[in-house]
Amino acid sequence: MSTGIRPLVVSVPNEELAADLQPLPDGVEVIAWGMDGPAPRAEIDIVVPPYMSVAVIMPRLAGVRTRLVQGQSIGYEGIAEHLPPGHTFANAASVHEASTAELAVALTLAAQRSIPDFVRAQGEHRWAAQFTQSLADRRVLLLGYGGVGKAVAARLAGFEVDVTAVASRARTEDGVSVHGVDELGELLPSAEIVIVSLPGGDSTRGFVDDAFLSALPDGALLVNVGRGSLVDTDALVDHLQRGRLRAALDVTDPEPLPADHPLWSAPGAVIAPHVGGASSAMRPRIARLVRRQIERMLAGEEPLNVVIPA
């Protein structure tokens, strides 16, 4: 006999995530909606949009009643302007930090140890030994000390480096002395490697500009796993072409990087196509987060990671 109680309805973008969510408590209905067409229901409690296309498909939530829109990315810049009124949006903090930190360290090591040179030599069947830069004993400045920055710091702990953390404000966090961005003028001249994981948005656009880059010592390495908009690309290309600096980038501005862009061929540049979170760790972690949101909603608790309230 029907109890008359409506199930908690959750839409996910594909059948794979629907399967990953199992088992779920009684009273939960999961439907697959890739948001490539009209909503299958007028009321969906939790909507999980497709990965990396949230801003494009947000308008399709118009006319749909939701209690939570659960994004699959950490970043959420630009979402508010596309999200119809009345929806609460949560980001995917806890899902991508480990993978993004892995890539940050991998890019750093690749640039320091000249791995791209060896890969090119392998393709040409050349034995091309060379003396390279170490990661050990280097002075590393972490610009951004949120989830990704902390994950990078944890992974650098075994590399015998001198790490300095910088965030929007000075503080002591978990025993770590974090410097404020107002101290960068004193810190940049001695930074041999800068790993950037700041969020995007208007407040950080072009933060790494020519003055920032000019303050770094010759030969310094800039690693960006935050957002491409953080860096003044023209200024960076200038420093690379002059041999002043090196760069290892998972994100660029513009993005995708056009085929004829000078950044591709700039000396000292290593470029990955925005794949920081794109690893096998993502599926189980996004499923874990969505399950936690379901459990909290069933218990009458507030959702996690809300960055845009209704």
Among 60, 96, 138, 227, which one carries the catalytic annotation? 227
Backbone φ and ψ for 50, nearest 5 degrees, come out as -60, 155
Backbone φ and ψ for 68, nearest 5 degrees, come out as -160, 135
pLDDT in tens, 48-79: 999 977 777 899 999 999 999 999 999 888 89
- Whether 227 is catalytic is yes
Q: Are 197 and 104 in contact (CB under 8 A)?
A: yes
What's the number of CA atoms in the CB half-sphere (13 Å) around residue 159? 20
pLDDT in tens, 69-128: 999 999 888 899 999 999 999 999 999 999 999 999 999 999 999 999 999 999 999 999
> CATH topology for 8-95+280-308?
Rossmann fold (3.40.50)
Q: Are 192 and 163 in contact (CB under 8 A)?
A: no
pLDDT in tens, 143-160: 999 999 999 999 999 999
Q: In the predicted model, what is the mean pLDDT of the chain?
A: 95
pLDDT in tens, 279-289: 999 999 999 99
281 class by beta-carbon count within 10 Å (0-12 exposed, 13-18 middle, 19+ buried): middle
Give percent of the chain with pLDDT exceeding 70: 98
DSSP 82: H
Cβ-Cβ contacts under 8 Å for 3 (sequence gap 6 or more)? none
- Whether 274 is catalytic is yes
**Kind of pairing between the strands at 246-249 and 269-271:** parallel
Q: Which contiguous run of DSSP H or E holds residue 270? A: strand 269-271
Order of strands, edge to edge, in the sheet holding 171-173? 171-173, 176-180, 162-167, 139-143, 193-196, 221-224, 246-249, 269-271
Backbone φ and ψ for 113, nearest 5 degrees, come out as -100, 10
- What average pLDDT does this structure show over 27-37? 95
pLDDT band at residue 4, thresholds of 50, 70 and 90?
A: low
Among 244, 255, 283, 288, which one carries the catalytic annotation? 255
Domain boundaries defined on the chain = 8-95+280-308, 96-271
pLDDT in tens, 155-199: 999 999 999 999 999 999 989 999 999 999 999 999 999 999 999
| CB-CB neighbours of 222 under 10 Å | 26
Backbone φ and ψ for 98, nearest 5 degrees, come out as -65, -45
Q: Are 8 and 27 in contact (CB under 8 A)?
A: yes
pLDDT band at residue 6, thresholds of 50, 70 and 90?
A: confident
Among 138, 179, 239, 274, which one carries the catalytic annotation? 274
- Whether 302 is catalytic is no
Q: Residue 3 pLDDT more than 70? A: no
- pTM of the predicted structure, to 2 decimals: 0.93
4 class by beta-carbon count within 10 Å (0-12 exposed, 13-18 middle, 19+ buried): exposed
Cβ-Cβ contacts under 8 Å for 117 (sequence gap 6 or more)? 128, 130
What's the number of CA atoms in the CB half-sphere (13 Å) around residue 215? 14
Superfamily of domain 96-271: NAD(P)-binding Rossmann-like Domain (3.40.50.720)
